[in-house]
């Protein structure tokens, strides 16, 4: 029987730019007070999971979240730049409203999820999907039979969900990408499959995480 790798994928806790609906992309924005609390809560929620290893995007919002997950396990977080958010180029630092006002044609292509659209200096959805699925599969393949945590970003979670459910890049999103939600998948040589998505029971006291698009 082929061995599988169990995966727990977690989006980082909240940042001030999430609240402001401002595109972070690969800019290094840290957690706000709510995000720190969320990171602590997800760390507590995963304390009894038999994690073998924790990989995280090296951007501080994901790294801070991963450190909280690592604490109960005595594990060192392993940095993986390949798990960074989609590079949004010129969009980075702009709010959704600013993009609509200043770059309406680019905003339309982004909103419609044009797979080939690249913000100036950024990545297309096609390039981003290839990067994330390749890196996540590579990490999973190193730990067959084990439980691996991947701590990253909203766009990364979206790509992983689509990969696990065989959905196209342009399919409308009906699933949540909340801050500090717990998402569970399996990986084998045949690809990813979904076990459970957007568990936020540990965040109930806070009223649940935000769900901004791709940050």
Classify residue 213: in a domain, yes or no.
Answer: no
Given a contact cutoff of 8 angstroms between Cβ atoms, the answer to whether 10 and 178 are in contact is: no
For the question of residue 85 being annotated catalytic, the response is yes
Task: Give the range of the structural domain holding residue 31, as residue numbers without chain letter.
Answer: 5-88+124-206
If one counts the domains in the chain, the total is 1
Please write the tens of the pLDDT for every residue from 144-153: 999 999 999 9
- What pLDDT score does 42 carry? 98
Given a contact cutoff of 8 angstroms between Cβ atoms, the answer to whether 193 and 7 are in contact is: no
Classify residue 93: in a domain, yes or no.
Answer: no
Classify residue 131: in a domain, yes or no.
Answer: yes
Measure Cα distances from 207 to 11, 28, 177 in Å: 17, 26, 15
Distance CA 160, CA 40 (A): 24
Which of 12, 73, 153, 202 does the annotation list as catalytic?
12
Where in the chain does DSSP place strands (E)?
5-11, 51-56, 77-79, 147-152, 182-188, 191-199
For the question of residue 120 being annotated catalytic, the response is no
- What pLDDT score does 214 carry? 47
Classify residue 211: in a domain, yes or no.
Answer: no
Please write the tens of the pLDDT for every residue from 65-78: 999 999 999 999 99
Given a contact cutoff of 8 angstroms between Cβ atoms, the answer to whether 194 and 9 are in contact is: no
Classify residue 97: in a domain, yes or no.
Answer: no
- The pTM for the full model equals 0.94
Distance CA 163, CA 86 (A): 16
Which stretches within 46-115 are classed as H helix?
60-70, 96-102, 104-111
Which of 14, 68, 80, 85 does the annotation list as catalytic?
85
According to DSSP, the β-strands at 182-188 and 77-79 are: unpaired
Classify residue 115: in a domain, yes or no.
Answer: no
Task: Report the CATH number at residue 12.
Answer: 3.40.50.1240
Please write the tens of the pLDDT for every residue from 97-131: 999 999 999 999 999 999 999 999 999 999 999 99
Question: What's the angle, vertex CA 137, arms to CA 4 and CA 57, rounded to 5?
Answer: 120
Distance CA 156, CA 138 (A): 15
């Amino acid at each position: 029987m082929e061995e599988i790798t169990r995966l727990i994928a977690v989006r980082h806790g909240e940042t001030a730019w999430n609240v402001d609906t401002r595109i972070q992309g690969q800019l290094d924005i840290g957690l706000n007070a709510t995000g720190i609390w969320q990171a602590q809560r997800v760390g507590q929620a995963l304390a009894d999971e038999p994690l073998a290893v924790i990989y995280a995007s090296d951007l501080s919002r994901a790294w801070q979240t991963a450190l909280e997950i690592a604490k109960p396990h005595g594990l060192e977080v392993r940095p993986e730049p390949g798990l960074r958010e989609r590079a949004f180029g010129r969009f980075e630092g702009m709010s959704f409203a600013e993009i609509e006002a200043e770059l309406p044609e680019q905003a339309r292509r982004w909103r419609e999820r044009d797979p080939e659209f690249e913000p100036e200096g950024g990545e297309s959805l096609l390039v981003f999907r290839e990067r994330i699925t390749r890196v996540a599969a590579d990490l999973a393949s190193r730990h067959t039979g084990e439980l691996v945590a991947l701590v990253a970003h909203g766009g990364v979670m979206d790509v992983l969900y689509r990969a696990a459910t065989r959905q196209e890049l342009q399919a409308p999103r009906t699933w949540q990408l909340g801050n500090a939600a717990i998402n569970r998948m399996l990986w084998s040589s045949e690809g990813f499959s979904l076990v459970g998505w957007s568990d936020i029971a540990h965040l109930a006291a806070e009223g649940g995480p935000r769900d901004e698009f791709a940050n």
